[in-house]
């Protein structure tokens, strides 16, 4: 009788320790954003020495949740910026760094925090204000957006040229 009870206990414990392999977890759904822009972006930050960057980009999402990919002239991904209300991350190659906001991430990457909320409006052709920034949308019909930050220092010049839809 003890042998039978022991075998029953062993069978129950073994059953609890065996992982369930009958149902596979669902595959993660791909991110789908309503808005998408692509083109070229150049930015100059007037530090000593000046910092300049220029790259092709693909931007999806909105100021709350999105992804910004930067590409080299040969089309390889140089960096990926991803953000949501809880966190922001920068992925470059095999390195991944987390930030508490997309503004802090852009400041680390470029040397100046970008006005993300206003930028999404500018990409829609809407004049939106951001402290210290002036935007020129006069060539928006041609896909061009130019924004300049005069304060706080350093001065920043941001140029965006959108690809035709």
**Residue 152: is the preceding peptide bond cis (ω within 30°)?**
yes
CA atoms of 143 and 162, how far apart (whole Å): 5
pLDDT at 107 over 60: yes
Q: Are 75 and 93 in contact, with CB atoms under 8 Å apart?
A: no
Q: Mean of the pLDDT values across residues 75-101?
A: 94
Supply the angle between the helices 102-110 and 116-123 in degrees, to the nearest 10. Answer: 90
Q: Which letter does DSSP use for residue 163 in this model? A: P
pLDDT at position 30 is 56
Express each pLDDT in 35-51 by its tens digit: 999 999 999 999 999 99
pTM of the model: 0.78
Tell me what the pLDDT averaged over the chain comes to. 84
Residue 56 pLDDT class (50, 70, 90 cuts): very high
User: What pLDDT was estimated at residue 14?
Assistant: 38
36-162 CATH fold? outer membrane lipoprotein receptor (LolB), chain A (2.50.20)
All structural domains of the chain with their residue ranges: 36-162
Cα–Cα distance, 134 to 156 (Å, whole number): 10
| Distance in angstroms (rounded) separating the CA atoms of residues 157 and 43 | 6
Q: pLDDT at residue 161 above 60?
A: yes
pLDDT at res. 39: 97
Query: Which three-class secondary structure state does DSSP give residue 101?
Result: coil
Decide: helix, strand or coil at residue 138: coil
Percent of the chain with pLDDT over 70: 81
8 pLDDT higher than 50: no
């Amino acid at each position: 009788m003890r042998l039978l009870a022991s075998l029953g206990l062993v069978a129950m414990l073994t059953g609890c320790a065996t992982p369930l392999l009958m149902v596979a977890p669902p595959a993660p759904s791909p991110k789908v954003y309503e808005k998408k822009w692509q083109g070229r972006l150049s930015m100059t930050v007037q530090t000593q020495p000046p910092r300049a960057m220029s790259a092709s980009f693909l931007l999806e999402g909105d100021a709350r949740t999105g992804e910004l990919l930067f590409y080299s002239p040969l089309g390889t991904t140089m960096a990926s910026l991803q953000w949501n209300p809880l966190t922001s991350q920068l992925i470059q190659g095999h390195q991944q760094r987390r930030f508490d906001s997309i503004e802090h991430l852009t400041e680390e990457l470029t040397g100046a925090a970008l006005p993300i909320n206003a930028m999404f409006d500018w990409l829609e052709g809407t004049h939106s204000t951001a402290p210290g920034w002036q935007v020129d949308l006069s060539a928006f019909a041609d896909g061009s957006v130019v924004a300049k930050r005069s304060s706080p220092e350093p001065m920043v010049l941001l140029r965006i040229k959108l690809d035709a839809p």
